[in-house]
Structure 1
Amino acid sequence: MQKSLLHQPIFLIIKKSNSLKQLDSILSEVINLSNDKNKNIEFTIKRNKGTYELSKVIYLENSSNTQSKSGRTFQVDCWGSDGELLWQDTYYDTLSASEGILKCTDKDGGCADICEIVARFSK
């Protein structure tokens, strides 16, 4: 029994690391898409049992209301399984936004094993 307990934390660290890399890569792709069109983006990340992929991108018209005063930002909304907003936060880099998504799905119980995460990127 102790053997399985010793291996579990290592597995969780590896799993989180892989998820973090997947999300960071997706968010880097979002930045590139935004830069190519010079537009803000609303996007959906599809999650299926720990695997993440970019599934939908909507280009938004840039306006003075959507421009961030502090530069490029990601807004992540964490929704509970009951459809209620648990929290919303703003991040200034892909790694922090990736960690925020994992905080929602793995720590705060937002989303489910199969779900979609909606976020926004502002230039």
Structure 2
Amino acid sequence: MKRKMINTIVLSCLSIMLFGCASKEERIDVTFELSNDIKVNVTQVAKDYLIKNNCGTSETIQVGTASITDYLVGASDEVSDPKDIGQVVYKVTFKDKSHVDTYLPEVLVNQDNNRVVGFIVGN
């Protein structure tokens, strides 16, 4: 009897984890205030990553228009290490001179060490 109950509980928990977390909305809407130093560092790391990977140039990536938000890394995101899936990171999005999305990849930056963990293909 105890074994059936334990199996039922374990199966229920696994089902909730698999199906309850399969949301397409993986962005976390959290209001936060970053210090200027963090904004500058995270933005520069993201810009350097895009330039290094031939996604833009210093002229096309406007640092002043960067938008930084908290983001929950999902399985569909391009990450360099699968261990980063499920982690909350900074998502950096750049806009062009006319403040329209340039379809550059959004860069995912680790909040603890400012390391690029991956990217999201631009729309």
Q: With structure 1 as the length reference, what TM-score do the two structures score?
A: 0.32
Q: Which structure has more helix as a fraction of its residues? A: 1
- Indicate the structure (1 or 2) with the bigger Cα radius of gyration: 2
Higher RCO structure, 1 or 2 (CA under 8 Å, sep 6+): 1
Q: Which structure has more strand as a fraction of its residues? A: 1
